[in-house]
Chain A
């Protein structure tokens, strides 16, 4: 029998250091895996890699370098960088604190109305970026219904204080979900052990609970930091003369028509965002002392002691009231002639948004988001599967690039798209594909918008898929292989049905994120394609708050409706079996 040489030492070496046991069974000789990996890489390159490359080459071009030089030397630019970092720090701290209070009350304190509080904490996820800011201006601004109308103050909420308030209330759900997950997986026997040793509830809180949560708190802080320095919508509306890097880059592109300067400011913004993201991903997440076993860690004893219960519930209650008043304002504001000033009932705003000139935005946005969500959801599942099950060396890189859509500030991504895709792509003079972004692009730039939607909403599905797959025993997929299925068949017939809840999460977040995203879109809308978030910005800018509120309400309504329908379709029709874990 002729015995061929199986593997050269070189390929053996290239496999990299592997931990025995942990990465067993990733024989990657399957042609389907190679094809799928190639497709995934090509898509990631198109939606993230290429725009970032375009941005970098523009920022490091001669004009971009000049601006970068000014950012280092010019005190005005120093202040902008300082403003950005300060905003990130303040919102990071306050948003984490709010998230912690909500999570702690939810998990540990006995009170009625937990479900309502939970839903309240989740609303900001489906709300467009201006809803809170506009409502806060209406309630607490110079002519605010509360500040001026009730107390007669001429409050100035523009600048850092207003931004802190609005961004904390907009972003705290991230911290809330993060910390709540950690609190729930904390083994209550630890609390009991400490109490058994004679520690009071307060002592248990400070010496056991808080230290166990430090990684979760740090992780939340970093995520909020990235979100708030990346935010563009609120600084535009509420910033006043408090300029941050995101709004400066926007001004450079849309006001000064200086793409290179935009790229340079974006780069300055991207560096700290990426750094913090990397720290969060590779350091904080490893420091976690909470062991997540996947099993419920027993029933948590709920705190009834007034010394803890009363102060926390008071603060949480006040915050909840604030959030309620804000969303009531959004809801009601759409029916008022000039919200906060002329409170006469009118249907004109809804008329405008749903049937009039503004309805194009509603339709365009929904269609594009509906196109992007399944692409992002499936792509997320596919990447998760390749990363967890199939790839060895490349898995870290692909996982990282997939997450970049979240880590890179939207402003940066939008400018990158503008630079890379507003002219036809040519390689050696041959047109590879036509312009995708900008007014002269095919389909009025809709392609670029869908691509941005996919890039922005991919990470949530990818994360959900990775954690779902890690809970499914690899033997189930090996059994399919052993019965003659190739990788693609296994993925379609076994894996996908088993991670359907992750797929649902992925689709839901993909749709919600696509509908609510603004910062990259603002650079990519064209006269031919109207997007709701950027229409809201236009309405707010021109002071037509009623239209803005109506848009916000309709947008929230569409998101909630689609999420509901998705739930029904996926649970009842596509996969009849129940999701099953190891």
Chain B
């Protein structure tokens, strides 16, 4: 597949249950957690009354644009920041009064933060040595961690002699060997190149599933969040916008912000025609009446937008013959991506982006072609337009 040798495989197929937490533990609870930098009332609030309960063994990602408060939240869990108010607790034990070095957590850093003056083995052994572990046990534990992360061949090297991916595995081994109740990840993959990042995140996911360690992962990369998480916490301006499974966050975002931040979306003008019943309502959008799922805040009077992902847009030739699907549009541009073609189509409703996967050669539209624009069944999601304060 690529030029990785056996030793470069990310993880060895060793039974890693050694490092699993001893019992079902590692529940993390954040209650009204708030961080305010500065003291004046108009200073921005980095983290604003965040409530979150993370189940034992769950993988939760904090996702959001830079400055949304995700890193501050993580650092408060770790103890590197003191909350302005609110609580962090692990298994019901309040953590705010516990010094960061006494918390049952280990952190993996974006910059890896390996100790440059120590070898790989010494890096991994660092924390255990502080715990006064016996020399024999220390050796066993470190060997196991190195083996799991497939780092044995590099045990005596200095960090700067390793590649970025290897360094990150050392950082992970160093965190795992402490048997933390909670693993904290601060954008650990953002310094890796694209291919390695994908590989590494799959391995992190597999390892985490195997060990069942509660994990909190901070990232601004939605792909990472989607593929890694049991649940995603989308944050914006210090507040939580949505806590949901990756599937829900993508298909049924709670707000226009989330819809726009996760993936790409068309927002089409729409009018609500009937009161929602069982989460569905009739709307008029894209040239005809449709039956769509609606956000809970939508009612008959709501100003709304219909979210349609580009891959949910249906383009058909011969608009004259098509009265079912919707509106007539004109292709403005067609960009060939390989596995898909991306079109920009101009309609009476506005400009719409459509993504057609695996198109056959004869099906590719050209600019200025006339097409019929529709929506695949059950793909639309009606969102209320936020009322401007």
Residues of A within 8 A of B40 (CB): 17
Decide yes or no whether A6 CB sits under 8 A from chain B. yes
Q: Which of A15, A486, A579 is within 8 Å of B101, CB to CB?
A: A486
Q: Which residue of A lies closest to B107 (CB)?
A: A482
Question: Is A475 within 8 A of B101, CB to CB?
Answer: no
Q: Which of A4, A481, A486, A575 is within 8 Å of B80, CB to CB?
A: A481
User: Would you give the 0/1 interface string for A476-487, flagging 1 where the beta carbon is closer than 8 Å to chain B?
Assistant: 101111111110
Most buried by B among A25, A475, A579: A475
Decide yes or no whether B44 CB sits under 8 A from chain A. yes
Per the bound structure, the CA–CA distance linking A417 and B73 in Å amounts to: 51
Per the bound structure, the CA–CA distance linking A24 and B109 in Å amounts to: 15
Decide yes or no whether B113 CB sits under 8 A from chain A. yes
Q: Which of A3, A27, A478, A480 is within 8 Å of B82, CB to CB?
A: A27
Decide yes or no whether A159 CB sits under 8 A from chain B. no
Nearest Cβ in chain B — how far from A22, in angstroms? 10
Number of interface residues of B (CB under 8 A): 51
User: Would you give the 0/1 interface string for A23-49, flagging 1 where the beta carbon is closer than 8 Å to chain B?
Assistant: 011010110000000000000000000
Nearest Cβ in chain B — how far from A469, in angstroms? 14
Decide yes or no whether A114 CB sits under 8 A from chain B. no
Per the bound structure, the CA–CA distance linking A473 and B114 in Å amounts to: 10
Residues of B within 8 A of A579 (CB): 117
* 8 A Cβ contacts from B147-190 to A: 158, 160, 171, 174-175, 178, 184
Decide yes or no whether A154 CB sits under 8 A from chain B. no
Decide yes or no whether A357 CB sits under 8 A from chain B. no
Question: Is A484 within 8 A of B131, CB to CB?
Answer: yes
Residues of A within 8 A of B100 (CB): 27, 478, 481-482
Decide yes or no whether B24 CB sits under 8 A from chain A. no
| Chain A contact surface mostly | loop
Decide yes or no whether B92 CB sits under 8 A from chain A. yes
Decide yes or no whether B338 CB sits under 8 A from chain A. no
User: Would you give the 0/1 interface string for A1-30, flagging 1 where the beta carbon is closer than 8 Å to chain B?
Assistant: 101101100001101111110001101011
Question: Is A483 within 8 A of B126, CB to CB?
Answer: yes
Nearest Cβ in chain A — how far from B182, in angstroms? 11
Question: Is B84 within 8 A of A27, CB to CB?
Answer: no
Question: Is B117 within 8 A of A479, CB to CB?
Answer: no
Question: Is A483 within 8 A of B81, CB to CB?
Answer: no
Residues of A within 8 A of B80 (CB): 24-25, 27, 478, 481
Residues of B within 8 A of A577 (CB): 116-118, 158
Decide yes or no whether B310 CB sits under 8 A from chain A. no
Residues of B within 8 A of A20 (CB): 37-38, 44, 46
Given contacts A27-B82, A476-B111, A483-B126, 14 further A-B contacts (CB under 8 A): A1-B89, A6-B86, A6-B96, A27-B79, A29-B82, A29-B99, A473-B111, A478-B113, A479-B171, A479-B174, A481-B79, A482-B101, A483-B175, A497-B117
Instruction: Say whether, besides A30-B99, A489-B130, A476 and B81 are in contact (CB < 8 Å).
Output: no
Instruction: Say whether, besides A3-B94, A20-B44, A484 and B117 are in contact (CB < 8 Å).
Output: no
Decide yes or no whether A372 CB sits under 8 A from chain B. no
Chain A residues close to B by CB (< 8 Å): 1, 3-4, 6-7, 12-13, 15-20, 24-25, 27, 29-30, 473, 475-476, 478-486, 489, 493-494, 497-498, 575, 577-580, 582
Residues of A within 8 A of B174 (CB): 479, 483
Question: Is A575 within 8 A of B39, CB to CB?
Answer: no
Per the bound structure, the CA–CA distance linking A400 and B111 in Å amounts to: 32
Question: Is B99 within 8 A of A486, CB to CB?
Answer: yes
Question: Is A580 within 8 A of B117, CB to CB?
Answer: yes
Decide yes or no whether B106 CB sits under 8 A from chain A. yes
Question: Is A6 within 8 A of B38, CB to CB?
Answer: no
Q: Which of B39, B105, B158 is within 8 Å of A15, CB to CB?
A: B39
Nearest Cβ in chain B — how far from A162, in angstroms? 50
Leading 7 A-B pairs by shortest Cβ distance:
A483-B127, A580-B116, A577-B117, A475-B113, A479-B113, A20-B37, A482-B107
List 27 contacting pairs A-B, 8 Å CB cutoff, sorted by A: A1-B94, A6-B83, A6-B85, A7-B85, A12-B39, A17-B38, A18-B38, A20-B37, A20-B46, A24-B75, A27-B80, A476-B113, A476-B116, A478-B78, A478-B100, A478-B113, A479-B114, A479-B174, A480-B115, A480-B126, A482-B100, A482-B107, A483-B101, A483-B174, A577-B116, A578-B116, A580-B116
Q: Which residue of B lies closest to A6 (CB)?
A: B96
Residues of A within 8 A of B97 (CB): 4
Residues of B within 8 A of A19 (CB): 37
Decide yes or no whether B87 CB sits under 8 A from chain A. yes
Chain B residues close to A by CB (< 8 Å): 31, 36-40, 44, 46, 75, 78-87, 89, 92, 94, 96-97, 99-102, 105-107, 109-111, 113-118, 126-127, 130-131, 158, 160, 171, 174-175, 178, 184
Q: Which of B78, B83, B96 is within 8 Å of A482, CB to CB?
A: B78
Residues of A within 8 A of B31 (CB): 3
Residues of A within 8 A of B39 (CB): 12-13, 15-17
Instruction: Say whether, besides A17-B38, A482-B78, A484-B127, A494 and B115 are in contact (CB < 8 Å).
Output: yes
Nearest Cβ in chain B — how far from A4, in angstroms? 7
Residues of A within 8 A of B178 (CB): 483-484
Residues of B within 8 A of A7 (CB): 82-85
Residues of A within 8 A of B86 (CB): 6
Per the bound structure, the CA–CA distance linking A494 and B101 in Å amounts to: 15
Per the bound structure, the CA–CA distance linking A7 and B84 in Å amounts to: 7
Most buried by A among B84, B94, B101: B101
Q: Which of A1, A25, A498 is within 8 Å of B81, CB to CB?
A: A25
Residues of B within 8 A of A15 (CB): 39
Most buried by A among B106, B117, B127, B184: B117
Most buried by B among A27, A473, A486, A493: A27
Residues of A within 8 A of B130 (CB): 483-485, 489
Per the bound structure, the CA–CA distance linking A16 and B43 in Å amounts to: 12
Question: Is A6 within 8 A of B87, CB to CB?
Answer: yes
Per the bound structure, the CA–CA distance linking A494 and B79 in Å amounts to: 19
Nearest Cβ in chain B — how far from A550, in angstroms? 44
Question: Is B109 within 8 A of A485, CB to CB?
Answer: no
